C-alpha cells in the first residue's frame, strides 16, 4: 500500500473536516501511522500456486469462496475497511449476494470468459472468482491498484477511475478486449453508477452480464448523492423496465440508444442490506 493510498482511504476525509489544531496533529502522526500499519499488510498471494496446493477450492460454491477469501459479497467477512493494524478475526454480516451471482454464473462457470471487476479493492472477490471460473481471465480495476493482494497468470490488476469518463475510455473502452461479465463495485455514487453502465455496456459481449452492486446507495445515503440529483440509476432502470421515458445529464444520446436497443433483461435483487442489479445483454 502506497503512502498516498493510505492517506486517501483512512485520513483525507478526517483531515479535511478537522479543526486547525486537530488537523496539524493528524498531519504530524500520519507518516508514523503509515509505517506502523505496513507491518500488518500481508504479502501477495500467488493464486496459481494456491490452486496447485488447494485443488478442492475449484469445486466450491461461490458463497463458500466469497467467505473463504473474505469478500463482502458473501455471507460473513472480517471487516477489511479499517486500518490493517486494527483488523480482528471477528466476522460480521456481509452483503449476501452469492446466491444471486450463482444463479447466473453456474451454467457458464466452466467457459473461457473475460471478467472485469471495477472496484477490486484488496482483490478478495477476484480471488473467489479465480477459483469459481477456473478457465477464465480476470481483469481487476481499481482507483488504488496497489491495494491488490493477489497475483496470477490469469489476473490483470490495473488502474481506473470510474468517476472519470476519460479514465474509463483510456483504460477500458479503448482496450481491444470484450467482456462476458462486468461487475461494477466501485464508488457507488450517483454519477459514477450511471456513467459506468451507459459508457461500458458496449464492452459486453452478446449474451453477457453487467452487474451493479449497492444500486440503492444514491437513494439511501446522502454521501453518495450530495446534490440529491434525480433520476438515480436505480430509478432509471425501473423506468426502463416499465418502458417509461427518462433523461439524465450523464448519459449521451448514442449511449442511451445503444443500451435500450441491446439490453435483454434487468433484475434488481436485495441482499442482506442493499440491492444489486443484474442486466443481461441480447
Same domain, 93 and 194: yes
Same domain, 71 and 8: no
At residue 180, the pLDDT reads 98
CB contact burial 222-240 (16+ within 10 A = b; e otherwise): eebbeeeeebbbbebbeeb
The range of the structural domain enclosing residue 237 comes to 45-281
β-strand pairing of 137-142 with 91-93: unpaired
Same domain, 202 and 147: yes
At residue 55, the pLDDT reads 87
At residue 88, the pLDDT reads 87
Would the CA dihedral through 171, 146, 61, 111 be positive or negative?
Answer: positive
Q: What is the pLDDT of residues 80-138, one digit of tens each?
A: 888 999 988 889 999 999 999 999 999 999 999 999 999 999 999 999 999 999 999 99
Instruction: Report how many domains make up the chain.
Output: 2
Which residues does residue 117 pair with via DSSP β-bridges, in sequence order? 140, 183
Q: 141 in helix, strand or coil?
A: strand
Locate 132 and state its grid cell. Answer: 469459481
Same domain, 50 and 32: no
Per-residue pLDDT of the chain (282 residues; tens, 9 = 90+): 999 999 999 999 899 999 999 999 999 999 999 999 999 998 999 999 999 999 889 889 999 999 999 999 999 999 888 899 998 888 999 999 999 999 999 999 999 999 999 999 999 999 999 999 999 999 999 999 999 999 999 999 999 999 999 999 999 999 999 999 999 999 999 999 999 999 999 999 999 999 999 999 999 999 999 999 999 999 999 999 999 999 999 999 999 999 999 999 999 999 999 999 999 999
Same domain, 158 and 268: yes
CATH number at residue 247: 3.40.50.150
Locate 271 and state its grid cell. Answer: 441482499
Same domain, 59 and 31: no
Same domain, 32 and 64: no
Say what the pTM is.
0.94
At a CB cut-off of 8 Å and minimum separation 6, what does 25 contact? none
Q: CA-CA distance, 56 to 54, in Å (whole number)?
A: 5
Residue 162 · residue 118 · CB < 8 Å: yes
At residue 234, the pLDDT reads 96
Within the chain, strands assigned E span 45-46, 76-78, 91-93, 114-118, 137-142, 150-151, 155-159, 179-184, 204-213, 263-270, 275-281
Same domain, 18 and 144: no
Would the CA dihedral through 280, 179, 109, 212 be positive or negative?
Answer: negative
Same domain, 167 and 79: yes
Same domain, 143 and 86: yes
Degrees to nearest 5, angle at CA 98 with 225 and 83: 60
Same domain, 110 and 29: no
Residue 139 · residue 117 · CB < 8 Å: yes
Amino acid at each position: 500500500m502506497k503512502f498516498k493510498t493510505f492517506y486517501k482511504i483512512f485520513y483525507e476525509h478526517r483531515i479535511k473536516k478537522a479543526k486547525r489544531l486537530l488537523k496539524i496533529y493528524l498531519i504530524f502522526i500520519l507518516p508514523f501511522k503509515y509505517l506502523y500499519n505496513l507491518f500488518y499488510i500481508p504479502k501477495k498471494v500467488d493464486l496459481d500456486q494456491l490452486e496447485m496446493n488447494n485443488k478442492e477450492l475449484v469445486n466450491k460454491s461461490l458463497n463458500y469462496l466469497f467467505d473463504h477469501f473474505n469478500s463482502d459479497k458473501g455471507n460473513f467477512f472480517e471487516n477489511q475497511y479499517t486500518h490493517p493494524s486494527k483488523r480482528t478475526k471477528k466476522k460480521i454480516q456481509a452483503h449476501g449476494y452469492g446466491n444471486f451471482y450463482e444463479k447466473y454464473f453456474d451454467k457458464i462457470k466452466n467457459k473461457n470468459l473475460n471478467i472485469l471487476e471495477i472496484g477490486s479493492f484488496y482483490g478478495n472477490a477476484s480471488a473467489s472468482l479465480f477459483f469459481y471460473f477456473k478457465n477464465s481471465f480476470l481483469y481487476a480495476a481499481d482507483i488504488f491498484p496497489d491495494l491488490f493482494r493477489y497475483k496470477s497468470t490469469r489476473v490483470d490488476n490495473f488502474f481506473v477511475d470510474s468517476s472519470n469518463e476519460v479514465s474509463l475510455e483510456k483504460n477500458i473502452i479503448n482496450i481491444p478486449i470484450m467482456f462476458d461479465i462486468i461487475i461494477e463495485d466501485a464508488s457507488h455514487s450517483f454519477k459514477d453508477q450511471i456513467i459506468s453502465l451507459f459508457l461500458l455496456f458496449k464492452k459486453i459481449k452478446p449474451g453477457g452480464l453487467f452487474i451493479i452492486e449497492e444500486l440503492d446507495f444514491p437513494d439511501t445515503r446522502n454521501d453518495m448523492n450530495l446534490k440529491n440529483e434525480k433520476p438515480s440509476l436505480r430509478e432509471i432502470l425501473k423506468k426502463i423496465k416499465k418502458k417509461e421515458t427518462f433523461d439524465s445529464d450523464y448519459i449521451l444520446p448514442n449511449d442511451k440508444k445503444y443500451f435500450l436497443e441491446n439490453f435483454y433483461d434487468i433484475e434488481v435483487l436485495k441482499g442482506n442490506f442493499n440491492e444489486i442489479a443484474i442486466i443481461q445483454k441480447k
